[in-house]
Structure 1
Amino acid sequence: MALYIVVTPYKKDEYKLYPLKAEGTPLFTGVLTLQKTSKGMRPLKVRIVKNKEDEYLPIPTFVELIKASDEILTSGLSASQEDDLNDMLKAYQLTSRSIGVCRFCLMEDRITFRKSDMIRFKNEMICVPCAKRELRKEVSFAGRMSSSGIDRLESLLMKTRDLNRVMALFNPSNLPPELTMYDIIPAADNKIKAVKVKDLKIDERLKGLFLPKMQELLPVQSKSVNLGLTDGRNQLVVSATATGKTLIGEIAGINNCLNKKGKMLFLVPLVALANQKYEQFKKRYSPLGLKTSIRIGTSRIALNSVKLNTSLDADIIVGTYEGLDYVLRMGQVKNLKKIGTVVIDEVHMLEDEDRGHRLDGLIARLRSHAPDAQFIYLSATIGNPGEVSKNLSTTLVEYEHRPVPLERHLIFARSHEKNRLIEEYAGKEYSKTSSKGFKGQSIVFTNSRKKCHSISQSLRIQSAPYHAGLTYPQRKKVEEMFAKGELKVVVTTAALAAGVDFPASQVIFESLAMGNNWLTVGEFQQMQGRAGRPDYHDKGQIVVLSDPEMYMAGGESEEEVAFRLLGGSVEHINVEYDDPVQMEECIANTCISHSETELEKINDTMFGITVPTRSLINKSIDKGLLTRENGHINATPLGRAIVTHFLAVEDAFMIRERLGKKVPPIDITVELEVFDAAYFRGIDRLSKVIGVNVPSRVFSPASLDIVFSGESISKMDHSMRSQFTDFSVDFLDCVCEDAPFCGCPERKFSKKIIEYRLQGKSPAEITRAVAGDYNLSVFDGDILGYLDRFIRNLDAVYEIAKILGKQEAAKEARVLKDKVENAED
């Protein structure tokens, strides 16, 4: 085996010696001291460095060693040091050769020869292991990071061969995109032959409407047509956002309208999305003589709102799931007349814990009532499309590609750095103009309505908050400003992802949470799909701002969640209902049919009905919710109240029990639903005063536990202390064993909202009153929505009171309802 001696500088006339037979640890480490003689430079002494006591190598032995070596290698010597060493070697007919080694290894008395895979760090090249060690040191200085995050950084290190650039990620500003890029999701392939609009088998009037703007369909639309869309086939269309799914529903629905096959129902999960589609369809299809209406549940609170057409005689009815289901539950299904097409957008909402069973029931009821209608189900995120398609009795149209490529970037950033980065990336995006002539605009997703406002206010560029807590006119104004290019950024909540239809080129994730829970892969993909529209942009861009030190439910850090979401697959739709929910849907199905056989057929088409229909009927009869007479199944008055008021079975029984105990209707109604969407104002100042990071929501357990403690209040100044003391006195004075987590604070606060309303205050005035009395933020739209739901729940209390013969309670509920509804008159 070859023997090498590596020589490096030590002190002025001293050198370090590393005899070795291979890279790594030398045979020993020595210190060579030279002296100048009349014959030139000669070795004076050679000290062998050891842990306990150094030894000296005899000079003759040293000379034998260097003569026996295959090569003497130098690294880092100055010119004079090199000359002196070579002068000494010349005396023994030896020479040296200069090489590069890893200086970081040298500091630990290891030798690693410089190779092509060395990593640049500061002004030198170091070996890969040392570079990784330095990177991990930097990670430990910066804070906690998961193994996935470290793996990501090491991958970037090997890709760039530059530790300086990778370490720049810890100060995330003006970073080169190749460092932050996680991956690129490519654009559509060309394997699907585009169907030309002129060749479509649709009404010529509809074809004429399309032709000026498009000559051929997008790939998923072409695939849908090839699989029988215009032949009336029922379809489940699973394709990424912005691939053109909505138009598939429109082609079927409008064509069926024009051919007198019946009206189109276009159903969506959110009011915001229903409003957008209503405006779009009204403008787009009125030239064809088609009338569009909307069913979202009209507000019971009188405001200067936009007048909406809610007629059931319209050719196109856009509605929320519940808005249309209300028509069925009220026995008005015949008023819909002939239905030609039913489009269910965001059908993956079937798995929603709170609303999924009602969507499931709505679909089953519509399939039973309109068996000849064409059903089109749309979704961007279903993990088991084949199974879902089979259950819905549809042809599956699955398309995995996007119309424009999607660049996904991951940036590690602390919470206090995120707003600056949002401004930076949104500003850069707006400076770009696509080949279609559109500026780049951004959607920022965060996890609370309060943060929508705080983020928007912190940005020094044109931006606006957008969430369900705003009133319809407020949201519509934001939509119009964005459409005109007057806004660079819209800041919205993850909860409204399905209702955001802004033509944005960039989506920035300020948070990977929805409320207090991390996003699912399906939700994340739904949101990222909002970036890049083929009619506007050449590509979409995703920017994930991930804080490695942000932890939440499940013990995962935000950085760990980022890797799980970026690399994950969409979850399967797996629907399971408990017995009371199955009973509720079985009772609701009596609005379509009273035949036990037909009810069994309806139930059999539902995803979540697992209990046999006869058993559900018998249980409902036993509980006084259904009757069986001459083979007919009918809802009892209490069962009917459950159906028409969208009550859970347990809630109906709770109302009955409370009325029996003479609990006032206002207390029963507040128990059905509380108003808890209140937020601290000046959250940063509050956190600083009490020395703890406080959640923004007032009624979160952490807030109730920490903020309103005597210790925290004692740290506040007089003004702040006064308002928080008032809150404690008014809402935290119960003697429950588990106070303040007993629900009493939320119920008392909800009654305060109603009290403000009974004083004649509008939603906007209630918002100001809460701010003035308690220094808390609430939103006009949230107040309006709660008052609406309070009135509807009070309707249920009123009806059940009448059913039970509780005339005094019924009168009290009716009077209260009238006062809340007409408080401003």
Structure 2
Amino acid sequence: MTLWILASAERSKIIILPIRDKKKKPLFVGELILRDTDAGPRPHKFKVKDNGKGEFKPPSEFVELLRKTDRIMIARGGDEGQTASFVEMLQGFQMSADVVNACRFCLLKNRFNFLNRRSIRYHREKVCEDCGREELFNTLKSSHVNYSDEICERFEDIMLKTKDLDRTMAMISPDDIDPDLTRFDSIAANTSVPKGLIKDLPLHKGFKKILLAKSETLLPVQSLSVENGLLKGQNQLVTSVTATGKTLIAELAGIENILRKKGRLIYLVPLVALANQKYDQFTKRYSSLGIKTSIRVGSERIKTKKGASMKRTLDSDIIVGTYEGLDQILRTGNADLLGQIGTVVIDEVHTIEDSERGHRLDGVIARLKYVAAGAQFIYLSATVAKPQLRAKQLNAKLIEYEYRPVPIERHLILCPEHSKTKIMARLVREEFSTTSSKGHKGQTIIFTNSRRNCHRISEALPISASAYHAGLTSQERKKVEVAFVKGKLPVVVTTAALAAGVDFPASQVIFESLAMGIEWLTMQDFLQMLGRAGRPDYHDRGEVVVLAVPNKKYSGDKGDTEDAVALKLLKGEMQHTKVDYGDDEKMEEILASAAVTSSRNDLKMIHSYMLADYNVDMLLDKLARNKFLHKKGDLIALTRFGKIASGHFLSVSRAFLIRDSVLIDQEPIVTVSNLEFFDAVYYKYAARVSAALNVNLPSRVFQGASLDILFEGENMDKLDVTLRDQLLDFAGDFLTCSCRDSPYCGCAERKFSEKIISIRAEGYDPEGIVRKLEHLYGITAYPGDVLGYLDNVVRNLEAVELIASAYSKREIAYKARDLRKLVEG
């Protein structure tokens, strides 16, 4: 065992810390007072404190302690006079001491720790790691912010890495962002995979010429795909991050199969905006080869100027569509109209795991495998949790490329909510001031959690910025896309729900929010979105910035806070999701598959292609009992009722709802407004109302808190006359039901949905409907949302019309038909 003595000189005394075996906590704390004698300074009083109690000991005991010690140390930086006296005293006893760098903060707490290369800079001095941690955590606790444990650990990691507590603490209020501290990690680019030469590929001459005009070499993932049989008809699941060239893999197979007369290309995507983008790209790129492109998406029943300019026929070489847009052809028994299919491309195939749409993608893939048995299937995704398993399930060869084409840096900035706009303004300005070696200025995508926030943020930024979301019309979205691609628009602010799959060549991605609506982003969503940063044809590197508010929650008091979620997403890995869904969804897919075959055995074969497990016989029996189909031996056939349900994407429960409404002669407008509400409506003057009432009025009209605030007590009297009259008219038209739960019974939403349909029937287009709502009630909506709702209304009215005819309800059928034509325009 070793014994050290550490002396720390103060103005009137010397603190003595006996250290046993290099431990930080001393055996006791002593106080030594010296006095001058003829022989020099000598111990005068020696007080020992232990457990808060003090006891004076004979000075001789202190001298004896000094003689027993293995090492005597003096803390640097103590009182000079007392230190000199202590050294002189030691010399009088023929002893010596080492002057050491000891942590001053430890000494104040009667502890001992050396200062060394691991010590932390703090207020122009250094402290030991232990004291640095204590100061850090005390500051975090006193900041009135409930930082998550994960974020506290993040602060600690940064402090230990930088050895600078002051810089670390500056992150709490990041007015001056330090990129060295906010940087979470860096992902290097990879160039180790060989790149094949396009001139060596066995391609049609004209096709090869188009490709060579853009590049002489394939990107790595494209080379891997070709090496693994892409041009020999091999089915493939291609998983690689955004901007690595997956789309061209699909084109290499699809266009070459067209030119070799093997059949047309079906290219399916999850979003209308993405379908529009691919339609424009393919039309422009391949029309010189005599290849025709058409589009099939869901929103095509409402007549619009944009729709009139797009080719929608099925006699094209390339059919770009949404999953549901193409499935509509199969579900209505028109699979033969697709002709010979050479290639089927499923973009964003991870959508198959989506809880709402997954069953329909699973179904359309299986039905296409049946009607196009000889086609080559190419599945594309940037985010698949267990790609080997998924490739096996899809009967495809896995082409996996895990590296980015350009380096990317990911940053985490912790900030209060009110600082976000200021931080984003600085980031987007700095990014747009840079120019890559390819000659492109830096552009930014900002992801937020709501459409309203898209507009709020874009308007608040001191640089040209545009909102982009599904509520905009296709013309508005197209305008934004073109401006961004041309480099004329520095910033696009969009929702997580839409832009994950749309092709915006951004160098920087900022997460203003980590939620989609009020739900936290999934790992898959997060990776999809951050993958938009950095494109090899445009940029030298990509930047991802996550803005997280400590202690922020979007829903309720439970669950993680935004700062904790940020770290989980940055550190996390995707979780594999088993594909399965309920009986209602499974019966919908059985009906859809029965539209392409009359054989029970073939139907079983179709559902064996699906990822979910099916008890086909049990589901067929149930559908037969409910008059959706007939069975006879191996033969099955949809009833008239079943054909309507299949072709209109009706679940069994929705089909029953329509049938029951028809049988009681319910007005068609009531039936369709009961099937689906239009509630994406907002107070146009929410800010004015909030200021007048001194409350924070939620912007959504049918949010319970909004109705409580406006129509309670004397609140209406505080508003200006025009606004008050508009809101009273709204209440009179939609909030006058006698239900016990009014206004939370759903009647208001149903009546409002009827109003939307009625205004459309008067001849107003979606923009006109919005203007009329603003004039009548001081509320507003997005034209794209109105268009999408009306498109669904048309489909539902058509279902009402057909079901009414099937049950000999002619008057209801006529009313539904007439209203449908008015809504279609």
Q: Give the shorter-chain TM-score range.
A: over 0.9
Give the whole-Å Cα distance in 1 for the aligned partners of 2:597 and 2:2: 93
Give the whole-Å Cα distance in 2 for the aligned partners of 1:496 and 1:518: 15
What pairs up with 1:495-506 in 2 under 5 angstroms?
Answer: 495-506=497-508
The alpha carbon displacement at 1:387 in A equals 2.7
Aligned to 1:24: 24
Give the whole-Å Cα distance in 1 for the aligned partners of 2:706 and 2:568: 29
Correspondent of 1:796 among 785, 791, 799: 799
Structure 1 window deviating more from structure 2 (150-159 vs 31-40): it is 31-40
The alpha carbon displacement at 1:617 in A equals 2.6
Give the whole-Å Cα distance in 2 for the aligned partners of 1:701 and 1:611: 42
The alpha carbon displacement at 1:44 in A equals 4.5
Structure 1 window deviating more from structure 2 (675-684 vs 381-390): it is 675-684
Structure 1 window deviating more from structure 2 (312-321 vs 731-740): it is 731-740
- Residue 296 (1) aligns with residue 297 (2): yes
Does the residue aligned with 1:742 lie in a helix, a strand or coil?
coil
What pairs up with 1:417-496 in 2 under 5 angstroms?
Answer: 417-496=419-498
What pairs up with 1:344-743 in 2 under 5 angstroms?
Answer: 344-552=346-554, 555-612=559-616, 614-628=617-631, 632-681=635-684, 696-700=699-703, 703=706, 707-708=709-710, 710=712, 713=715, 717-718=719-720, 727-743=730-746
Give the whole-Å Cα distance in 1 for the aligned partners of 2:513 and 2:726: 30
Aligned to 1:221: 222
Superposed CA deviations along residues 344-371 of structure 1, whole A, max 9, x for unmatched, are 1111111222222222221122111111
Aligned to 2:252: 251
Superposed CA deviations along residues 315-344 of structure 1, whole A, max 9, x for unmatched, are 111111111122222333222222111111
Aligned to 1:767: 770
- Residue 4 (1) aligns with residue 4 (2): yes
Preserved contact between residue 74 and residue 96 of structure 1 (Cα < 8 Å) = no
| Superposition RMSD in Å | 2.6
Give the whole-Å Cα distance in 1 for the aligned partners of 2:625 and 2:66: 101
Superposed CA deviations along residues 545-575 of structure 1, whole A, max 9, x for unmatched, are 1222112456111222222222222232422
The alpha-carbon distance between structure 1 residues 175 and 802, as it changes in their structure 2 partners (threshold 3 A), is same
Give the whole-Å Cα distance in 1 for the aligned partners of 2:776 and 2:121: 60
The alpha-carbon distance between structure 1 residues 392 and 29, as it changes in their structure 2 partners (threshold 3 A), is closer
Superposed CA deviations along residues 643-699 of structure 1, whole A, max 9, x for unmatched, are 221111111100111222232211110111111112345666766777776654343
TM-score w.r.t. the length of structure 1 is 0.93
Give the whole-Å Cα distance in 1 for the aligned partners of 2:13 and 2:716: 67
Give the whole-Å Cα distance in 2 for the aligned partners of 1:464 and 1:797: 40
Give the whole-Å Cα distance in 1 for the aligned partners of 2:224 and 2:32: 79
The alpha-carbon distance between structure 1 residues 768 and 29, as it changes in their structure 2 partners (threshold 3 A), is same
Structure 1 window deviating more from structure 2 (546-555 vs 584-593): it is 546-555
The alpha-carbon distance between structure 1 residues 342 and 712, as it changes in their structure 2 partners (threshold 3 A), is farther
Give the whole-Å Cα distance in 2 for the aligned partners of 1:813 and 1:676: 22
Superposed CA deviations along residues 804-823 of structure 1, whole A, max 9, x for unmatched, are 1122222222232233333x
Task: Give aligned-pair identity as a percent.
Answer: 47
- Residue 814 (1) aligns with residue 813 (2): no
Which amino acid in structure 1 is aligned with residue 16 of structure 2? L
What pairs up with 1:124-143 in 2 under 5 angstroms?
Answer: 124-142=125-143, 143=145
- Residue 782 (1) aligns with residue 785 (2): yes
Structure 1 residues without counterparts, runs of 5 or longer:
none
Does the residue aligned with 1:293 lie in a helix, a strand or coil?
strand
Aligned to 1:175: 177
Preserved contact between residue 9 and residue 83 of structure 2 (Cα < 8 Å) = no
Does the residue aligned with 1:710 lie in a helix, a strand or coil?
coil
The alpha-carbon distance between structure 1 residues 666 and 342, as it changes in their structure 2 partners (threshold 3 A), is same
Give the whole-Å Cα distance in 2 for the aligned partners of 1:85 and 1:400: 66
Does the residue aligned with 1:564 lie in a helix, a strand or coil?
helix
The alpha-carbon distance between structure 1 residues 88 and 672, as it changes in their structure 2 partners (threshold 3 A), is same
The alpha-carbon distance between structure 1 residues 154 and 607, as it changes in their structure 2 partners (threshold 3 A), is same
Give the whole-Å Cα distance in 1 for the aligned partners of 2:539 and 2:370: 42
Structure 1 window deviating more from structure 2 (281-290 vs 379-388): it is 379-388
Give the whole-Å Cα distance in 1 for the aligned partners of 2:204 and 2:789: 45
Which amino acid in structure 2 is aligned with residue 622 of structure 1? R
The alpha carbon displacement at 1:439 in A equals 1.4
Superposed CA deviations along residues 607-654 of structure 1, whole A, max 9, x for unmatched, are 225112x33333222111112358542211111111221111111100
Preserved contact between residue 23 and residue 113 of structure 1 (Cα < 8 Å) = no
Does the residue aligned with 2:305 lie in a helix, a strand or coil?
coil
Give the whole-Å Cα distance in 2 for the aligned partners of 1:104 and 1:733: 70
TM-score w.r.t. the length of structure 2 is 0.93
Give the whole-Å Cα distance in 1 for the aligned partners of 2:181 and 2:713: 46
The alpha-carbon distance between structure 1 residues 696 and 145, as it changes in their structure 2 partners (threshold 3 A), is farther
Preserved contact between residue 689 and residue 715 of structure 1 (Cα < 8 Å) = no
Does the residue aligned with 1:25 lie in a helix, a strand or coil?
coil
Give the whole-Å Cα distance in 2 for the aligned partners of 1:76 and 1:723: 75
The alpha-carbon distance between structure 1 residues 54 and 725, as it changes in their structure 2 partners (threshold 3 A), is farther
Structure 1 window deviating more from structure 2 (31-40 vs 808-817): it is 31-40
The alpha carbon displacement at 1:729 in A equals 4.6
Give the whole-Å Cα distance in 1 for the aligned partners of 2:693 and 2:167: 39
Preserved contact between residue 73 and residue 97 of structure 2 (Cα < 8 Å) = yes
Aligned residues: 818
What pairs up with 1:307-318 in 2 under 5 angstroms?
Answer: 307-318=309-320
Preserved contact between residue 550 and residue 563 of structure 2 (Cα < 8 Å) = yes
Give the whole-Å Cα distance in 1 for the aligned partners of 2:306 and 2:714: 43
Preserved contact between residue 548 and residue 558 of structure 1 (Cα < 8 Å) = yes
The alpha-carbon distance between structure 1 residues 337 and 20, as it changes in their structure 2 partners (threshold 3 A), is closer
Structure 1 window deviating more from structure 2 (593-602 vs 468-477): it is 593-602
Does the residue aligned with 1:479 lie in a helix, a strand or coil?
helix
Preserved contact between residue 75 and residue 102 of structure 2 (Cα < 8 Å) = no
Superposed CA deviations along residues 123-181 of structure 1, whole A, max 9, x for unmatched, are 11111111111111222233122222222222222211111111111112332222112
Give the whole-Å Cα distance in 2 for the aligned partners of 1:283 and 1:597: 43
Superposed CA deviations along residues 448-494 of structure 1, whole A, max 9, x for unmatched, are 11111111111111111100100011001101111111111111111
Structure 1 window deviating more from structure 2 (125-134 vs 97-106): it is 97-106
Structure 1 window deviating more from structure 2 (452-461 vs 656-665): it is 656-665
The alpha-carbon distance between structure 1 residues 246 and 34, as it changes in their structure 2 partners (threshold 3 A), is same
Structure 1 window deviating more from structure 2 (779-788 vs 737-746): it is 737-746
The alpha-carbon distance between structure 1 residues 25 and 375, as it changes in their structure 2 partners (threshold 3 A), is closer
Does the residue aligned with 1:151 lie in a helix, a strand or coil?
helix
Which amino acid in structure 2 is aligned with residue 527 of structure 1? M
Does the residue aligned with 1:499 lie in a helix, a strand or coil?
coil
The alpha-carbon distance between structure 1 residues 235 and 54, as it changes in their structure 2 partners (threshold 3 A), is closer
Superposed CA deviations along residues 281-337 of structure 1, whole A, max 9, x for unmatched, are 111111112111111245444443361111211111111111112222233322222
Preserved contact between residue 7 and residue 16 of structure 1 (Cα < 8 Å) = yes
Give the whole-Å Cα distance in 2 for the aligned partners of 1:712 and 1:237: 62
Which amino acid in structure 1 is aligned with residue 437 of structure 2? S
Give the whole-Å Cα distance in 1 for the aligned partners of 2:686 and 2:50: 60
Structure 1 window deviating more from structure 2 (684-693 vs 490-499): it is 684-693
Which amino acid in structure 1 is aligned with residue 424 of structure 2? I
Which amino acid in structure 2 is aligned with residue 134 of structure 1? E
Structure 2 residues without counterparts, runs of 5 or longer:
none
The alpha carbon displacement at 1:374 in A equals 1.3
Superposed CA deviations along residues 374-431 of structure 1, whole A, max 9, x for unmatched, are 1111111122223322232222222222212222112212222222222222222222
What pairs up with 1:48-127 in 2 under 5 angstroms?
Answer: 48-49=48-49, 54-69=54-69, 70-127=71-128
